[in-house]
Structure 1
């Protein structure tokens, strides 16, 4: 156990890519101990990827790219503008509502952030908005992507924890909506500090809302296909992701016509690059996770918690703090694959509902997308805004407050997570 974790930490501190940190730590342990043949490394790598649900990842990635380029994001912005554009600081509100809607299509926080940033940040700059806070709001809204279904993080989490993907998706709906509502309240309070600067709201028009809703109907059909199909048991998550791609292509090519067939090769190449990076990490993480299980680490940690912590409340607090810190420095899928085989058995032993704990973990790692220094959503938003991550980080704590409050509510009021799955499944 010391050799496994010691080599893992040494490689991590040395700055090795995560795929090598996980794979080399596992292979080195087997080579030094000599108790298990090295061929197990290849077997575990293959077994870690030999899973039908994992096919959902490239399909969801491709659906997100289609959403970004096919006019779907623009239609959602138009609907959000008609819905909340009458509130002071309207574009802050629009960014949050749009990202919430796109979250129900792509399952990726970075894809949502890229789509919303490219459309709204130039307009925010033109209207004289604080561009640092504007970028921070878009990045924070992007963090809703892995919470509101569908979610790539939840697909992976359900697979490694033997949970229902549909139940995981439903468990993220209420927390995600609470987080979005909390951020909008925060934007309204922020805009009140400089009422003249953000007095750009347009009068509400029911006619305009109806027109925007009709224009966005094809885009709104995508989350219905994905979520309703999975929850209703009509399709598997992988099949739903494939249907989302087909629907997105039809909408982008023939309805909004902002996409051409010539765009497909480049999009598929980007999908292959993103997906392969995720998949190879999943494969090498399965080696590390197998070693952790073989060395009985979950039982040892569970025994330590029972002896020193003694309550589910304290365990959840400790797990939240650990996951928030890890999310600041590590990519979410990597963190998930390393920590879940250790934390999930402990959570079950402490009497925590596994579905509840799984959604809490997903929320923690989603917040990590917007916390410096790693937060990938911060990098995306800062690039589009033409600002540094440090400049945006000075104000990102403001939209982070409602996300943290949403996390605490979801952690200590389990019905926030469990009510919808229990009602519909």
Structure 2
């Protein structure tokens, strides 16, 4: 597997798309083992797409695109401004609140970061924020998106690791709240030091709060409906994806009346591109995963880690650091696909809870989207704001430290992750 791993890294450095790099590097494994039929890569690629649980992914992507074009985003922005506009940092605080509210809508950290950069980026610069700090806030705020239902990373992790997706959905809420608090605190401290003003100087009236809540209520109810549907056994994870699509179309057509023929077709076209990219990546990752299992890589890594310590907490910290560093070079989706079969059995062997580990794993993997040298969300936001990566990196250090601190807290206090799933699912 060493040659396969080196080939994967070399292909990435050369700029090859991740899906092709995974597929080509994985195929090299079969050239090293002529005793294995070369029909296996084709078979595992096709069989990977037949996993019924993965049907939830294209459905949630489609629902997210419909909701983004239904007028929900503008109403959530109004609500975020009412709730956080008086905090130091102004639009930066509004963008973080919007990320928290949008988590149940987009499901994608990169999509959320790009959308907010287009909506708020230049306005933040005009209010005196440096481009690097504005880009950092808009980028790191999207860390909330994958762990608020229906995060795509949760569906991938749950499907690969045979972990309850309903429990994962429930487990994401409180960690997302902690991440929002930590990022809000980091922005407040920076704004106080630099003199960034609040967006509004007066307290919102009850009428303003009520109007904001009424405007965003359908988006706020969305993740709650998902959880209740799973908890009450009304839907399976795949079926609730279909419900999400119907819900999004209903809101867009009949409630906000913003989903017209043109925007409907745009949502379909965007979903086709998104689904094609994600499912192609998932399919080709099966070739890589086959070699990992065949070479007993999970057992080998487990032996190395267990040789260093038998403390579950220490091992979780080591894994989080490993995933964090690896995420600097590899996309979060790829990390979840590649590392779940390796790391989850180790945590289970030590008696760790797979839901607790899943949330920590997804947060640690997602941080790589916002860090050099290959953070996708970082490059999208920097491109939109025309911000140098060096300036972005310097200005984002407080935000990185805030997210890292919350990740450590989640490792050492599992009850912060598990109390809601246990309350809802027993």
Does TM, normalized by the shorter one, top 0.5? Answer: yes
Whether contact under 8 Å (1:166, 1:230) holds in the other structure is yes
1:180-259 aligned at under 5 Å gives the runs 180-195=180-195, 197-204=196-203, 205-259=205-259
Q: Check if 1:66 corresponds to 2:63.
A: no
Q: How many Å separate the matches in 1 of 2:14 and 2:114?
A: 31
Whether contact under 8 Å (1:62, 1:267) holds in the other structure is yes
Q: Check if 1:134 corresponds to 2:134.
A: yes
Whether contact under 8 Å (1:124, 1:134) holds in the other structure is yes
Residue of structure 2 in register with 1:387 after alignment: 387
Residue of structure 1 in register with 2:309 after alignment: 309
**C-alpha offsets along residues 323-378 of structure 1, whole Å, 9 cap, x if unaligned?**
11111111111111111211112222233222221111111112122112222222
Q: TM-score, normalised by structure 2?
A: 0.93
Q: CA deviation at 1:151?
A: 0.6
**C-alpha offsets along residues 137-167 of structure 1, whole Å, 9 cap, x if unaligned?**
1111111111222110110011111101011
Q: How many Å separate the matches in 2 of 1:258 and 1:125?
A: 29
**Cα gap change, 1:163/1:72 in structure 2, threshold over 3 Å: closer, same or farther?**
same
Whether contact under 8 Å (1:68, 1:115) holds in the other structure is no
Residue of structure 1 in register with 2:75 after alignment: 75
Residue of structure 2 in register with 1:292 after alignment: 292
Q: Check if 1:407 corresponds to 2:407.
A: yes
Which residues of structure 2 form unaligned runs of 5+? none
**Cα gap change, 1:200/1:34 in structure 2, threshold over 3 Å: closer, same or farther?**
closer
Residue of structure 2 in register with 1:342 after alignment: 342
**C-alpha offsets along residues 153-195 of structure 1, whole Å, 9 cap, x if unaligned?**
1100111111010111112211111000111112221221133
Q: Provide the secondary structure at the position in 1 that maps to 2:144.
A: coil
Whether contact under 8 Å (2:124, 2:134) holds in the other structure is yes
**Cα gap change, 1:366/1:39 in structure 2, threshold over 3 Å: closer, same or farther?**
same
RMSD: 2.0
**Cα gap change, 1:201/1:37 in structure 2, threshold over 3 Å: closer, same or farther?**
same
Whether contact under 8 Å (1:172, 1:359) holds in the other structure is yes
Q: How many Å separate the matches in 2 of 1:412 and 1:218?
A: 35
Q: TM-score, normalised by structure 1?
A: 0.93
Q: Provide the secondary structure at the position in 2 that maps to 1:310.
A: coil
Whether contact under 8 Å (2:132, 2:388) holds in the other structure is no
Which deviates more from structure 2 when the two are superposed, residues 328-337 or residues 254-263?
A: 254-263
**C-alpha offsets along residues 102-139 of structure 1, whole Å, 9 cap, x if unaligned?**
10222111222233222222332333333331221111
Whether contact under 8 Å (1:219, 1:251) holds in the other structure is no
Whether contact under 8 Å (1:313, 1:412) holds in the other structure is yes
**C-alpha offsets along residues 205-237 of structure 1, whole Å, 9 cap, x if unaligned?**
221111111122233232233233223322122
Q: How many Å separate the matches in 1 of 2:115 and 2:231?
A: 27
Which residues of structure 1 form unaligned runs of 5+? none
**Cα gap change, 1:214/1:321 in structure 2, threshold over 3 Å: closer, same or farther?**
same
Q: Provide the secondary structure at the position in 1 that maps to 2:352.
A: coil
Which deviates more from structure 2 when the two are superposed, residues 140-149 or residues 259-268?
A: 259-268
Q: How many Å separate the matches in 1 of 2:287 and 2:105?
A: 32
**Cα gap change, 1:224/1:306 in structure 2, threshold over 3 Å: closer, same or farther?**
closer
Q: How many Å separate the matches in 1 of 2:267 and 2:278?
A: 17
Residue of structure 2 in register with 1:19 after alignment: 19
**Cα gap change, 1:140/1:417 in structure 2, threshold over 3 Å: closer, same or farther?**
same
Residue of structure 2 in register with 1:424 after alignment: 424
Number of residues of Structure 1 aligned to a counterpart in Structure 2: 424
Q: CA deviation at 1:6?
A: 4.7
Residue of structure 1 in register with 2:280 after alignment: 280
Q: Provide the secondary structure at the position in 1 that maps to 2:395.
A: coil
**Cα gap change, 1:99/1:199 in structure 2, threshold over 3 Å: closer, same or farther?**
closer
Residue of structure 2 in register with 1:36 after alignment: 36
**Cα gap change, 1:97/1:246 in structure 2, threshold over 3 Å: closer, same or farther?**
same
Whether contact under 8 Å (1:88, 1:201) holds in the other structure is no
Q: How many Å separate the matches in 2 of 1:71 and 1:418?
A: 34
**C-alpha offsets along residues 36-76 of structure 1, whole Å, 9 cap, x if unaligned?**
21111111111111112212222222223233332111101
**Cα gap change, 1:2/1:79 in structure 2, threshold over 3 Å: closer, same or farther?**
closer
Which deviates more from structure 2 when the two are superposed, residues 318-327 or residues 186-195?
A: 186-195
